[in-house]
């Protein structure tokens, strides 16, 4: 029972830290363009120009 007195506040603090991190990610616009990054991998990079020998 004594362990619960320690573990419940620790779990609440960790949950609040996780919630604060999620809200920070929303405010810093981390989730705005979900489709752009997924589609960008399908396009080829610009081809390199080979130098003549």
Q: Write out pLDDT tens, residues 32-52.
A: 877 777 777 787 777 667 776
* pLDDT score recorded for residue 19: 98
* pLDDT score recorded for residue 16: 98
Alpha-carbon distances, residue 51 vs 3, 15, 47, 48 (angstroms): 70, 56, 13, 9
Q: Write out pLDDT tens, residues 17-31.
A: 999 999 999 999 888
* pLDDT score recorded for residue 41: 77
| Dist CA 37 CA 14 (whole Å) | 30
């Amino acid at each position: 029972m004594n362990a619960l007195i320690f573990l419940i506040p620790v779990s609440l603090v960790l949950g609040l830290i996780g919630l604060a991190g999620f809200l920070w990610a929303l405010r810093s616009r981390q989730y705005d363009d979900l489709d752009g990054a997924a589609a960008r991998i399908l396009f080829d990079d610009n081809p390199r120009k080979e130098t003549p020998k």
